[in-house]
């Protein structure tokens, strides 16, 4: 998991050769519209997942958003420049979900060499410059990507 309190930002992160079994979400990148910070240059390579409850890969900019509506506290997070490759996931509810903010889409994500067996495919919302190469999704409900 990267994010939640992203005010200070996070850069140049590398994740390699991990195994997740029975977790809530596989790869989780999260923030909220009032948390600010730039999260960028994140590289994920060689992750194996099995029996994941929700999404295999989740970008969520609506995580636990503060509801005080004070415009002075508005700090828009920016998530950009991710490379996610060599991922295998067997048994997950949703394959990939990317939910950016209307005022700041999640951008420049490259997915490469990914195999996911899931109930549903992908949801891309407020996302720009998403590149998918060598992706194999096996899902039982809905469209591959919406």
Q: What pLDDT, in 10s, does the model give residues 19-35?
A: 999 999 999 998 877 77
pLDDT score for 140: 85
Question: Are the CB atoms for 82 and 38 separated by under 8 Å?
Answer: no
How many folded domains does the chain comprise? 1
CA distance 105 to 110: 15
Backbone angles phi and psi of 132, in degrees to 5: -125, 120
For residue 76, pLDDT beyond 90: no
CA distance 126 to 23: 26
pTM: 0.88
- Express each pLDDT in 89-125 by its tens digit: 999 999 999 999 999 999 999 999 999 999 999 999 9
For residue 69, pLDDT beyond 70: no
Which range of residues forms the domain containing residue 54?
2-66+74-145
pLDDT score for 75: 76
């Amino acid at each position: 998991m990267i994010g939640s309190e992203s005010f200070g930002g996070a850069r140049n992160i590398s994740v390699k050769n991990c195994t997740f079994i029975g977790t809530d979400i596989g790869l989780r990148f999260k923030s909220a519209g009032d948390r600010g910070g730039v999260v960028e240059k994140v590289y994920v390579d060689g992750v194996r997942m099995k029996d994941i409850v929700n999404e295999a890969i989740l970008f969520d900019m609506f995580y636990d958003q503060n509801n005080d509506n004070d415009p002075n506290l508005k700090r828009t997070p920016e998530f950009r420049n991710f490379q996610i490759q060599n991922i295998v996931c067997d048994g997950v509810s949703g394959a990939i979900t990317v939910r950016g903010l209307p005022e700041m889409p999640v951008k420049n994500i490259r997915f490469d060499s990914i195999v996911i067996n899931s109930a549903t495919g992908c949801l891309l919302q407020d996302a720009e410059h998403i590149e998918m190469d060598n992706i194999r999704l096996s899902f039982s409900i809905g469209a591959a990507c919406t």
